[in-house]
Structure 1
Amino acid sequence: MNWEQLLSLKRFGDTHKRLRKEQNETRLGFEVDYDRIIFSSAFRSLQDKTQVIPLSKTDFVHTRLTHSLEVSVVGRSLGRLAGQKILEKHPHLSTIHGYQMNDFGAIVAAAALAHDIGNPPFGHSGEKAIGEYFSHGNGKRFKEHLKPSEYQDLAKFEGNANGFRILTENRPGINGGLRLSYATLGAFTKYPKASLPHKPTANIGDKKFGYFQTEKETFQDVAEELGLKKIINHDNVSFARHPLAFLVEAADDICYTIIDFEDGINLGLIDEEYALEYLIKLVKNSINTSKYNSLTSTADRLSYLRALAINTLITEAIETFLANEEAILAGEFHKSLFDNSSFEAQIKDIIKISVEKIYQSEEVISKEIAGYKMLSLLLDTYTQSFLPEDSSMESGYHQLIKSSVPKLQISEQQSIYTSLLQICSYTASLTDGFTVASFEKYKGLRV
């Protein structure tokens, strides 16, 4: 893989190559990507989607939207730092093609901003709830009508693949979705493979999948333009990651490790003194002890340690990325940037506490249980209304449901797979609050 191709400004529908040196410096193409994402309705919906605590009523707990903004900020720093060194190593990118340090930052920032855009309500439990509706619930009735790859898309419903769908999906009057640059789409796709085979290797890019069967050709077009290395394993084709996807992943890892932990402290789920001690261990090489001791409030001490911790992890991620640049470009780097980290012990300790005290807390578990029930009922309601087993037996109730969901336009000419994926994608687009309201309405509890 080579950087000139990987930094492609091409967008869906382009017939001519977009050259970096011909870009208007007042509003670069990669910056346009960021703007299009932040003004999209799918991004706005993240303000009422779970990051840590479902349906939290406190004002300091992160939502998917605030988390995404913070990941984007960290991603921009990672991209710029990497870009500076890459341009020093490959000066022709700047002197001949016109690329600048900030281009790398803009690509990573945009991809990081969108990294959770396809996630369902109620966090990762929402993904599991949708998938398990088809693997263990009433959705199993559709299995015999689907190809193995189509059924796998549904039974292992993946927010990353749904995000790629949102960013690129053709809709009436809107071809190519948000029409982002292919460089940003490549950096967004942490798992450049289809749902089958499921976790075929230890390569981190195979951990999940990045596109549904409906977007297979779209992703292959993006991969070809970017020159992503093709990996052929018998009849299966996947791709090496876009190098900047490693930085998007690192930005997310940094934020959820540190900031979810901070949320746990603010919620009182993690003891303050105990938690601060663990953060101090992470930043012991950079902490200014006298400054830290002069801070009188827990909030100020926590803010200081958080900033140091993020900076510490940014520095290490960049060092690892640059040290392995050649292997990454060759598609031979198969780990996250924090695997074998010098701070591995400290990171594991923080994540272990977060799992025990936050993710497995009674408040989180009870709300995730409710989320499972709600999403299962919504999927049952939509599939029975739009895909009845016997159309002649369609009830007045199901007709009312169809008319109450104008965004679900499903035609009789569509395949069952396409219709089911459309229903799943719509359900995933709902906010936590709207899901609760819809559940209550369909149960007759709300007028």
Structure 2
Amino acid sequence: MNWEQLLSLKRAGDTNKRIRKEQDETRLGFEVDYDRIIFSSEFRSLQDKTQVIPLSKTDFVHTRLTHSLEVSVVGRTLGRRVGQKLLEKHPHLQNVYGHQANDFGAIVAAAALAHDIGNPPFGHSGEKAIGEFFKTGEGQKFKNQLTDKEYQDLCDFEGNANGFKILTQNRAGRPGGLRLSYATLGAFTKYPKESLPTKPTNYIADKKYGFFQSEKEAFTDVAKELGLLKRSEKHMSFSRHPLAFLVEAADDICYTIIDFEDGINLGLIQEEFALEYLSKIIRNTIKPENYYALSTKEDRVGYLRALAIGSLINEAVDVFMANENAILNGSFSCALLDKSQYSAQIKDIIKISVENIYQSTEVIDKEIAGYGVISTLLSTYTSAVNNMFNNTASNYNKLILKSLPKVIETNKPTLYQRLMRVCCHVSLLSDSKAILEYKKIKGIEF
């Protein structure tokens, strides 16, 4: 792969090539991507979606929206620092093509901002709940009417693939979705493969999948423009866009350190563990007198968090630059932080977070409730949409359809398209909105 292609400014529907040197520096194309994402309704719904603690009413626990903003800030720094080093190493990118270090920062920041835009309500359990509906629940009845890959899209519903769908799908009045630059779409796609086969190799991009069958053509166009390396002749699978490693690193840094911070602030993890577990990461930057001068737990933990994020940013930049050639030829097969000198400390922090936060009673109870909510919504909506298509809709089905937004089209010609529309709609609901819809269907509140 080469950076000239990887930094493509092309957008869906373009008829003329966009030239970097012709860009308005006060409103760079890559920065427009960020603006389009942050002003989208899909992004706004993240303000009421679970990050770790579902439906938390405390003011310091992160939602998907605050998490996404923080990942974007870290991603911007990562991109700028890597961009500066790449321009020193490859001066023609600046001298001939006009690229600046901030280009890299803008691409990574935009992709990082959108990285969770496709996640359903109730955190990762929301993804699993949608999948279980089709794999072991009422949705099993659709299996024989779908191709293997279409059915796998539903059984292993993936927030990353749903995010690509949201960013690129055609809608009335909005052809090409948000029409982001292909560079940003490439950096967004951590898993540039289709749903089958499942985990064919240990290469990091094969861990999950990044686009549904409904967006296969759109991703093919992106991959071709960017010059992504094809990894298989039997199925659609590509090497990652190099900047996807930085988006992933930004997410890894934030959820590792900030989820840990949330757990301490909630009292699920003792404050003493913060200094114990973070001390090896921040040993070169911590000033004990500053730490002990802080009077509140939140301030002390926040100080450690800021230093830890700074150290891990430096690590990620160093690992990326040390492995740039391998990343460009598609042979670098793990996350950047897996090569970090702090990988052992990161694993320890994640382990204690899993035990004390992700598996806490509060989280598990809310995830159980989330399964029931999502299963009910999918059952109700799929029945209404399919019955309307088959001209067998009951009065109840028709009432349900009147309550749904117009984007849930009942005239889609294939079952797969109709089911994906329903799943996408449910995935865009906030936690509170999903519960409200559930109560309405169950007649719990009027």
Fold-level match, TM-score > 0.5? yes
- Contact 1:408 1:423 (8 Å CA) reproduced: no
Aligned-residue offset at 1:389 = 9.8
Partner of 2:414: 415
Distance 1:306 1:284 in 2: 13
Percent pairwise identity: 67
Distance 2:17 2:158 in 1: 32
1:246 partnered with 2:245: yes
SS in 2 for 1:371: helix
Equivalence for 1:288: 287
CA contact (8 A) 2:408 2:425 kept: no
Q: CA RMSD in A?
A: 1.2
Change in 2 beyond 3 A, CA 1:386/1:96: same
Provide the residue aligned with 1:404 in structure 2: 403
Which residue does the alignment assign to 2:364? Answer: 365
Aligned-partner Cα distance in 2 for 1:275–1:295: 14
Q: 1:236, CA displacement in angstroms?
A: 1.6
Report what 1:88 is aligned to.
Answer: 88
Alpha-carbon offset, residue 302 of structure 1: 1.0
Distance 1:7 1:390 in 2: 43
Three-state SS of the structure 1 residue aligned to 2:236 is: strand
1:316 corresponding residue in structure 2:
315
Q: 1:230 deviation in Å? A: 1.0
Instruction: Give yes or no for contact 2:274–2:301 (8 Å, CA) kept in 1.
Output: no
Structure 1 residues 373 and 22 mapped into 2: Cα distance closer, same or farther (>3 Å)? same
Q: Which residue is 2:216 aligned to?
A: 216
- Taking the aligned partners of 2:329 and 2:391, their CA distance within structure 1 comes to 57
Q: Give 3-state SS (helix, strand or coil) of 1:333's partner.
A: coil
In 2, Cα distance between equivalents of 1:408 and 1:81: 41
Supply the AA of the counterpart residue of 1:400: L
2 CA distance for matches of 1:54 and 1:334?
33
Aligned-pair CA distance for 1:300:
1.9
List gaps (5 residues or longer) in structure 1: none
> 1:413–1:360: structure 2 CA closer, same or farther, 3 Å change rule?
closer
Please state whether the residue corresponding to 1:231 is helix, strand or coil: coil
2:336 maps to 337
User: Counterpart of 2:373 in structure 1: which amino acid?
Assistant: M
Task: Evaluate the alpha carbon distance shift between residue 243 and residue 390 of structure 1 in structure 2; reply closer, same or farther with a 3 A threshold.
Answer: closer
Contact 2:381 2:400 in 1 (8 A): yes
Contact 1:46 1:64 in 2 (8 A): yes
Partner of 1:440: 439
* Rounded Cα–Cα distance in structure 1 between residues aligned with 2:423 and 2:243: 29
Task: Please report how far the alpha carbon of residue 109 of structure 1 lies from its aligned counterpart in structure 2 after TM superposition.
Answer: 0.1
> Is contact 1:79-1:108 (8 Å) kept?
yes
Aligned partner of 1:328 in structure 2 is: 327
Deviation of residue 413 (structure 1)? 4.7
Query: If the length of structure 1 is used for normalisation, what is the TM-score?
Result: 0.98
Residue 144 of structure 2 corresponds to 144
Alignment of 1:121-160 (within 5 A): 121-160=121-160
Q: CA deviation at 1:112?
A: 0.1
- Who is 1:255 aligned against? 254
Provide, for residues 163-200 of structure 1, a one-character-per-residue CA deviation record: whole Å limited to 9, x for no partner.
Answer: 00000001122111000000000000000000011111
For 1:14 and 1:393, the matched residues in 2 are separated by: 42
Please tell me the residue identity of whatever aligns with 1:89: K
- Alignment map for 1:155-304 (pairs within 5 Å): 155-233=155-233, 235-304=234-303
Aligned to 1:375: 374
Aligned to 1:60: 60
Q: Does 1:11 align with 2:31?
A: no
Deviations 1:30-59 (A, max 9, x none): 000000000000000000000011111111
Shift, 1:409, TM fit: 3.2
Aligned pair count reads 446
